[in-house]
C-alpha cells in the first residue's frame, strides 16, 4: 500500500450524494460529506479528495460561484479551512487532488467537512463529469488526522457510475481487404458526443452498397441496451472497392463504412490493431479485462495489447495480464500478446513497448518505483541499453514510444529487437522520431497506437485533458490472423499507421532490373535473399538501378487533401488529387506543432480570425475533439476559438462569400498575420514560430473535393551513399494522417 495503513477504521467515513449513474461529460452537482472518526482531525491536519490521472472531470474552481465547476468547502463546526486544487499532489494514479487543510481549529469525532462539487446554489451549472465511462468512479478520500502529512485511505470510498449518453455519431467498420467470396462482418455502433459507444441506440437505417454483397440486408435496426449491431457472414462475389452506407428515412447518409478492397487473391491480409493502452491497475481506467473486452467488442479490433507502466505492474498483476492474454487470444478472431511498457526516465532512454510471443516471460522493469515487493529487483533493466541486453534471445519485439517520457533512440537502439517506432498516439504526432531513425541509419517501420488511458483501445477519443489527439491504429499486413502471423508482419515492418481512421493503402517499389531482397536486415548478419522485381513497405533491398518506380495506391475514408512522397528526410513531391483550376471559395487554416519533445509539449493556439471586405458563408472545424474548447462564429466576419496541439494539427475550413476579395487577419499569441484573400492559393502559406513544426498553414481547396482514391506513380532517383527510405504520408480532409512503413533500398 502506498499510504499508511494505521487504523483506517478510526479515520472516519465519507459519502456522496446523489448516487447512481450519470452521463459522461454532463454537468452535475455532488455533495461529498466527510465525517471525522475517533481521532478527528488535528489543527493543521488535512484530507485529500483525489481522482485518477486519466480523469478529465472539470477542474474545481473556488472564486466564481456562477461559473462551471464551482466547488465550495466548509466545516460543520466552523473550523477555518484552506482549500487548493493540484493536478499532481498525490501518488499516481490518483494524482488529481482537492486538498483541504484545517488551519484554525480542529475536528472532533462526528464533525464534518462538506464539499459541494459543482455547487449550484449561486448559479453555477455544476461540475462537468469526466467524458468517458467508468462503473466505479471514486471520490477517493485520504485522511491526515494527526497532522503528520502521512495519509490513510478510508476503507470504503464514495463512488458513482458514469455511462454513455445518447448517440450523435454513427460508425460502420468493415475489414479493409478480403478475397472474392471470403466471408466478413460489418460492425455498426453509435457514439455519444464524447466518443463513447452508446447503448441508447434504437434507430432504423437503410443500407446501401456500391457493389453486390451477399447477405447484406436492406435495413438494420438497433436494439436499446446493445452497444453494437454486427452483421455476420457477408461476402462479395466480385472484386472491387466496396463502400457501404447507412441512410436515414429521408435518404440522408448518416455514416459511411471504411473502404474495403475485394481482390481475387492475396498472400497478406490487413489486420487492424491498437498495440498500446493501459487500465486502472496502472494509470488507466476500468479493468484490464474491460480493456480487452472493449477492444474486441466495441472497437472491433483484430489485435490488441495491454501496455501498463512497468514500475506499477506488480508480480500478481503481471501474472493476471498473462492469464488475460491467454484467455482473449483466439486465432482468426482476436490476437493478444502479453506485453508491458518499459517506462524508463528520459535520460535513461525513455519509453519502449515490449510484445512477447508467449506468456510466462520475465518482466524487466525500468524500476520498482510503485512496486513495494523488491524480491525480484535484480531483474530490473534500469536503462534502455540494459533492457535490450536483457531481452536478447527473447521471442519478442519492441517499438519506441513517445508519452510523458519520450524514447531517445539516439541513446539506445537494438536493430534486432526494436523494429518500429510509434509516430502517433493520443499524446500527439511525433514524426521527428522516424527522422531520428533515418539520421542514425536505422531501418524501422512506422506504427500508430493510442496509449489510451480512458478504457477505449482502438477507439480512443482524447477527451478533455492533456491528450491532444485521437488515438492511432496500426494495420498489420500478415499471412494469417494469429500471433505468429502478426509478429511476422511486425518484424518485417509490413504495416502502416493512421491517426485513427481505417483505409486502404498499398505502397510498392518497382525495379527496372531485379533487386536483391533480404529475408532479414543484412546489418544483423548473414541472411538469405531473393531476386525480385517489386517490393512492399518494410522490405530491405539492394539495387543497381539509378531510379525506381514508387507506386502508391490509396482508397481513403475521407477526401484526400495531399500525399507527401518521401525519401528519408526529404520530401520528393507533394501530390494533390485536384488541380489549381479546381480551387474555389474554400480556404483552410491549420495550426500545428509542439513546444518541445517532453511532457510540456502542449502549444496553445487560442485566437481569432477576422475578415475585412468579405464574410464567412460556411465553417467546418477540423480535429476539435475537446468540446470544452470553443469554436464560435461571433459575427459574419469573425471567428473566435480556444485550441491546443501536441504535435498534430487542428483548424478550420472557411467558405467565403467572395473567393478573392478582402483580407484575413489571424491573431494568436504565437502567430499574427494579415493576408490578402486573393493571395491564398494552391501552395500553402507557412507562418512559423519555433518549437517543433510550430506554425500556422493557410491554403485554398476546391469547394467540394470528391477524391477519396488516388494512384500515384513517380520515378525516384536513388542516392548512392545512404539508404533510400521510400514512404508516403497521406493527409485526409477530415484531419487524419496515414503513414506507410518505408521500403529501404541501398545501392
* CB within 8 Å of 252: residues ≥ 6 apart: none
Predicted TM-score (pTM) of the model is: 0.96
Q: What is the pLDDT of residues 527-582, one digit of tens each?
A: 999 999 999 999 999 999 999 999 999 999 999 999 999 999 999 999 999 999 99
- CA distance linking residue 353 with residue 490, whole number of Å: 13
In the chain, which residues fall in CATH 3.20.20.140? 272-502
Alpha helices by DSSP H, 274-350: 288-297, 315-328
Cell of 330: 483466439
Bridge partner list, 83 = 100
* pLDDT band per the 50, 70, 90 thresholds, residue 1: low
Cell of 693: 513544426
**Is 57 within 8 Å of 128 (Cβ atoms)?**
yes
Checking if the pLDDT of 660 tops 60, the result is yes
**Rounded to the nearest 5°, which phi and psi values hold at 641?**
-150, 160
Q: What is the pLDDT of residues 583-641, one digit of tens each?
A: 999 999 999 999 989 888 889 999 999 999 999 999 999 999 999 999 999 999 999 99
Assign 626 to helix, strand or coil. Answer: coil
Checking if the pLDDT of 466 tops 90, the result is no
Sign of CA dihedral 481, 482, 488, 490: positive
Q: Regarding the domain delimited by 503-577+706-747, which CATH topology (the fold level of the hierarchy) does it fall under?
A: Immunoglobulin-like (2.60.40)
In the chain, which residues fall in CATH 2.60.40.3490? 8-163
**Is 34 within 8 Å of 14 (Cβ atoms)?**
yes
* pLDDT band per the 50, 70, 90 thresholds, residue 209: very high
The CA-CA-CA angle for residues 137, 138, 140, to 5°, reads 160
Q: What is the pLDDT of residues 245-263, one digit of tens each?
A: 999 999 999 999 999 999 9
How far CA 476 is from CA of 283, 292, 396, in Å, comes to 27, 19, 16
> What pLDDT score was predicted for residue 98?
98
- Over range 511-525, report the average pLDDT: 96
CATH code 2.60.40.3490 for 8-163: yes
Cell of 637: 466576419
- CA distance linking residue 628 with residue 106, whole number of Å: 39
- CA distance linking residue 87 with residue 90, whole number of Å: 9
Q: What is the pLDDT of residues 220-242, one digit of tens each?
A: 999 999 999 999 999 999 999 99
Cell of 603: 502549444
Q: Regarding the domain delimited by 169-263, which CATH topology (the fold level of the hierarchy) does it fall under?
A: Immunoglobulin-like (2.60.40)
* DSSP-derived secondary structure for 706-725: ---EEEEEEEEEPPSSS-EE
CATH code 3.30.565.10 for 272-502: no
> What pLDDT score was predicted for residue 465?
73
Q: Classify each residue of 631-666 as buried b or exposed e, where b means 16 or more C-beta atoms within 10 Å of its C-beta.
A: bebeeebebbbebbbbbbbbbbbbbbeebeebebeb
Checking if the pLDDT of 356 tops 80, the result is yes
* pLDDT band per the 50, 70, 90 thresholds, residue 494: very high
> What pLDDT score was predicted for residue 553?
98
* CB within 8 Å of 98: residues ≥ 6 apart: 48, 49, 50, 60, 71, 73, 83, 84, 85, 115
Assign 551 to helix, strand or coil. Answer: strand
* DSSP-derived secondary structure for 91-157: STTS-EEEEEEEEES-B-TT-EEEEEET-TTTT---EEPPSS-EEEEE-EEEEETTSSS--EE-SS-
* pLDDT band per the 50, 70, 90 thresholds, residue 172: very high
> What pLDDT score was predicted for residue 599?
83
Rounded mean pLDDT of the chain?
Answer: 96
- CA distance linking residue 611 with residue 621, whole number of Å: 17
How far CA 607 is from CA of 32, 458, 640, in Å, comes to 38, 32, 6
Checking if the pLDDT of 167 tops 90, the result is yes
- CA distance linking residue 141 with residue 90, whole number of Å: 11
Bridge partner list, 548 = 716
Checking if the pLDDT of 299 tops 80, the result is yes
Sign of CA dihedral 325, 331, 333, 335: positive
**Is 142 within 8 Å of 177 (Cβ atoms)?**
no
Cell of 422: 510509434
Amino acid at each position: 500500500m502506498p499510504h499508511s495503513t494505521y487504523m483506517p477504521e478510526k479515520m472516519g467515513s465519507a459519502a456522496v450524494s446523489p448516487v447512481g449513474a450519470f452521463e459522461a461529460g454532463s454537468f452535475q452537482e455532488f455533495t461529498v460529506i466527510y465525517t471525522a472518526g475517533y481521532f478527528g482531525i488535528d489543527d493543521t491536519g488535512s484530507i485529500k479528495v483525489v481522482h485518477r490521472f486519466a480523469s478529465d472531470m472539470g477542474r474545481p474552481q473556488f472564486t466564481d460561484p456562477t461559473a462551471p465547476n464551482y466547488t465550495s468547502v466548509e466545516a460543520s463546526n466552523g473550523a477555518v479551512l484552506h482549500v487548493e486544487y493540484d493536478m499532481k499532489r498525490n501518488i499516481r494514479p490518483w494524482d488529481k487532488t482537492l486538498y483541504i487543510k484545517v488551519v484554525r481549529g480542529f475536528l472532533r469525532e462526528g464533525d464534518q467537512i462538506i464539499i459541494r462539487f459543482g455547487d449550484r446554489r449561486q448559479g453555477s451549472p455544476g461540475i462537468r463529469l469526466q467524458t468517458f465511462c467508468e462503473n466505479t468512479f471514486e471520490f477517493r478520500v485520504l485522511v491526515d488526522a494527526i497532522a503528520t502529512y502521512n495519509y490513510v485511505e478510508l476503507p470504503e470510498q464514495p463512488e458513482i457510475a458514469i455511462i454513455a449518453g445518447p448517440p450523435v455519431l454513427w460508425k460502420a467498420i468493415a475489414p479493409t481487404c478480403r478475397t472474392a467470396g471470403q466471408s466478413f462482418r460489418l460492425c455498426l455502433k453509435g457514439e455519444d458526443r464524447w466518443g463513447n459507444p452508446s447503448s441508447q441506440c434504437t434507430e432504423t437505417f437503410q443500407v446501401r452498397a456500391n457493389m453486390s454483397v451477399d447477405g447484406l440486408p436492406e435495413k438494420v435496426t438497433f436494439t436499446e441496451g446493445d452497444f453494437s449491431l454486427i452483421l455476420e457472414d457477408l461476402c462479395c462475389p466480385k472484386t472491387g472497392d466496396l463502400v457501404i452506407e447507412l441512410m436515414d428515412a429521408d435518404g440522408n447518409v448518416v455514416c459511411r463504412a471504411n473502404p474495403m478492397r475485394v481482390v481475387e487473391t492475396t498472400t497478406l491480409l490487413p489486420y487492424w490493431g491498437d498495440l498500446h493502452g493501459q487500465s486502472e491497475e496502472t494509470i488507466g481506467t476500468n479493468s484490464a479485462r474491460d480493456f480487452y473486452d472493449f477492444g474486441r467488442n466495441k472497437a472491433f479490433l483484430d489485435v490488441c495489447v495491454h501496455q501498463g507502466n512497468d514500475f506499477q505492474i506488480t508480480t500478481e498483476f503481471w501474472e493476471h495480464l498473462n492469464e488475460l492474454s491467454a484467455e482473449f487470444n483466439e486465432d482468426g478472431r482476436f490476437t493478444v500478446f502479453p506485453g508491458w511498457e518499459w517506462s524508463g526516465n528520459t535520460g535513461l532512454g525513455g519509453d519502449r513497448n515490449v510484445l512477447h510471443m508467449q506468456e510466462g516471460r520475465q518482466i524487466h522493469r525500468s524500476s520498482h518505483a510503485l512496486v513495494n515487493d523488491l524480491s525480484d529487483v535484480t531483474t530490473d533493466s534500469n536503462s534502455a541499453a540494459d533492457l535490450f541486453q536483457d531481452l536478447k534471445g527473447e521471442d519478442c519485439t519492441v517499438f519506441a514510444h513517445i508519452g510523458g517520457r519520450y524514447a531517445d533512440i539516439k541513446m539506445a537502439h537494438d536493430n534486432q529487437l526494436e523494429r518500429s517506432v510509434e509516430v502517433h498516439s493520443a499524446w500527439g504526432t511525433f514524426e521527428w522520431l522516424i527522422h531520428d531513425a533515418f539520421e542514425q541509419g536505422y531501418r524501422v517501420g512506422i506504427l500508430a497506437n493510442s496509449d489510451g488511458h480512458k478504457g477505449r483501445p482502438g477507439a480512443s477519443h482524447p477527451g478533455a485533458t492533456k491528450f491532444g489527439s485521437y488515438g492511432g491504429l496500426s494495420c498489420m499486413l500478415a499471412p494469417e490472423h494469429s500471433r505468429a502471423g502478426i509478429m511476422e508482419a511486425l518484424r518485417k515492418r509490413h504495416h502502416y499507421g493512421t491517426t485513427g481512421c481505417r483505409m486502404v493503402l498499398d505502397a510498392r517499389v518497382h525495379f527496372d532490373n531485379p533487386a536483391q531482397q533480404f529475408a532479414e536486415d543484412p546489418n544483423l548478419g548473414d541472411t538469405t535473399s531473393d531476386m525480385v522485381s517489386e517490393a512492399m513497405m518494410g522490405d530491405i533491398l539492394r539495387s543497381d538501378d539509378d531510379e525506381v518506380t514508387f507506386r502508391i495506391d490509396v482508397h481513403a475514408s475521407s477526401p484526400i487533401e495531399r500525399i507527401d512522397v518521401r525519401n528519408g528526410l526529404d520530401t520528393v513531391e507533394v501530390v494533390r488529387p485536384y488541380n489549381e483550376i479546381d480551387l474555389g471559395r474554400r480556404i483552410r487554416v491549420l495550426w500545428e506543432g509542439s513546444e518541445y519533445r517532453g511532457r510540456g509539449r502542449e502549444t496553445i493556439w487560442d485566437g481569432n480570425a477576422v475578415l475585412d471586405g468579405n464574410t464567412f458563408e460556411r465553417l467546418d472545424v477540423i480535429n476539435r475533439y475537446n468540446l470544452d474548447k470553443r469554436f464560435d462564429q461571433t459575427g459574419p466576419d469573425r471567428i473566435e476559438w480556444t485550441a491546443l496541439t501536441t504535435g498534430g494539427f487542428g483548424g478550420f475550413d472557411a467558405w467565403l462569400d467572395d473567393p478573392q476579395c478582402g483580407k484575413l487577419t489571424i491573431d494568436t499569441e504565437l502567430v499574427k498575420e494579415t493576408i490578402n484573400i486573393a493571395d491564398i492559393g494552391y501552395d500553402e502559406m507557412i507562418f512559423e514560430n519555433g518549437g517543433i513544426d510550430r506554425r500556422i498553414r493557410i491554403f485554398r481547396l476546391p469547394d467540394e473535393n470528391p477524391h477519396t482514391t488516388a494512384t500515384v506513380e513517380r520515378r525516384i532517383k536513388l542516392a548512392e551513399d545512404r539508404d533510400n527510405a521510400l514512404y508516403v504520408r497521406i493527409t485526409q480532409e477530415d484531419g487524419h494522417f496515414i503513414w506507410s512503413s518505408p521500403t529501404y533500398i541501398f545501392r
